[in-house]
Amino acid sequence: MKSLHFLFLSLIAFFALTSCEEIQQKNVSPTEILADSTFDNHSYSNVQQIRTKHLHLDIDVNFDNKTIYGVARHEMVNNGTDTAIFDIKGLKIQKITIGKTKEKETSFMIGQWDKDSILGQPLLVKVDRTTKYVNIYYQTTDATEAIDWLSPELTAGKEFPYMYTQGEAILTRSWIPLQDSPANRITYSAKVKVPTDLMAVMSAENPTKKNDEGIYEFQMRQPIPCYLIAMAVGNLTYRKLGPSCGVYSEPQLIYQCVNEFGDLPKMIRAAEKLYGKYQWEQYDLIVLPYSFPFGGMENPRLTFVNPTLLAGDRSLVSVVAHELAHSWSGNLVTNSSWDDFWLNEGFTVYFENRIMESLYGKEISDMLALIEFQELQDEIKAIEAGDFPDDTKLKLSLAGRNPDDGMTDIAYTKGAFFLKTLEQEAGREKFDAFLNSYFKKYAFKTINTETFIAYLNSKLLEPNDLEFNTDEWIYEKGLPENCLKIVSPRFEQIKLLADRFAAGEDIFKKEIKWIKVKGRKKKKKQINQLTRDKYIAQEWQMFIRRLPKKIDPALMRNLDKHLNFKNWGNAEIMNEWYILGINSGYEDIRPNMEKFLLKVGRRKYIAPIYQELAKTPENLKWARGVFEKAKNNYHFISRNTVQELLYKKK
Active site residues: 323, 412
Which stretch of DSSP H or E encloses residue 135?
strand 133-140
Which span sits near ligand BES by CB under 6 A: 47-55, 188-196, 295-303, 360-368?
Answer: 295-303
Question: Which one of the spans 79-87, 238-246, 340-348, 429-437 is the region binding Zn ion (CB under 5 A)?
Answer: 340-348
265-284 residues in contact with Zn ion (CB under 5 A) are none
What is the nearest approach in angstroms of ligand BES to the Cβ of residue 482?
24
Shortest distance, CB of residue 152 to ligand BES, whole angstroms? 25
Smallest separation (angstroms) from ligand BES to the CB of 278:
17
169 contact, one of ligand BES, Zn ion, none, CB 5-8 Å limit per kind: ligand BES
For residue 384, the tally of other CB atoms under 10 A from its CB is 14
| Nearest CB to Zn ion, comparing residues 340 and 345 | 345
Residues 6+ apart with CB under 8 A from 616: none
Which of 189, 353 has the CB closer to ligand BES? 353
Sequence-separated contacts (24+) of 471-477 with Cβ below 8 Å: 473/394, 473/414, 473/418, 473/421, 474/393, 474/394, 474/395, 474/418, 474/449, 475/393, 475/394, 475/395, 476/393, 477/384, 477/389, 477/390, 477/392, 477/393
CA 198 – CA 185 distance, rounded (Å) = 30
Residues in contact with Zn ion, counted by CB under 5 A, come to a total of: 2
For residue 190, what are the CA distances in angstroms to 87, 183, 193, 372?
19, 22, 10, 39
First to last CA, the chain: 39
Taking the least distance from each CB to Zn ion, the nearer of 327 and 348 is 348
Closest by CA to 93, choosing from 75, 109, 113, is 109
From the CB of 227, what's the least distance to ligand BES, in Å? Answer: 8
Task: Please name which of 499, 496, 525 lies closest in space to residue 512, comparing C-alpha atoms.
Answer: 525
Candidate residues 297, 497, 609, 646; the one interacting with ligand BES per rule CB under 6 A: 297
Out of 278, 294, 473, 605, the residue judged to bind ligand BES by CB under 6 A: 294
**What is the smallest separation between the CB atom of 602 and ligand BES, expressed in angstroms?**
7
Amino acid code (one letter) for 519: G
Q: Does 296 bind ligand BES (CB under 6 A)?
A: yes
| Residue among 321, 254, 243 nearest 282 (CA) | 243
267 binds, among Zn ion, ligand BES, none (CB under 5 to 8 A by kind): none
Q: Would you say 345 or 366 has its CB closer to Zn ion?
A: 345
316-345: which residues touch ligand BES (CB under 6 A)?
Answer: 319, 322-323, 326, 345
Q: Which of 298, 339, 409, 572 forms a contact with ligand BES (CB under 6 A)?
A: 298
Rounded-to-integer distance, Cα 320 and Cα 525, Å: 43
Q: How far is CA 521 from the centre of its chain?
A: 60
Determine the distance from the C-alpha atom of residue 499 to the mean position of all C-alpha atoms in its chain, rounded to a whole number. 35
Q: How far is CA 120 from the centre of its chain?
A: 21
Least separation in angstroms between residue 164's CB and ligand BES is 13
Q: Between residues 131 and 348, which has the closer beta carbon with respect to ligand BES? A: 348
Nearer to ligand BES, 294 or 610 (CB): 294
User: Which of 578, 589, 313, 367 lies closest to 486, judged by CA?
Assistant: 367
Interface residues with ligand BES (CB under 6 A) are 168-169, 294-298, 319, 322-323, 326, 345, 407, 412, 604
Interface residues with Zn ion (CB under 5 A) are 345, 348
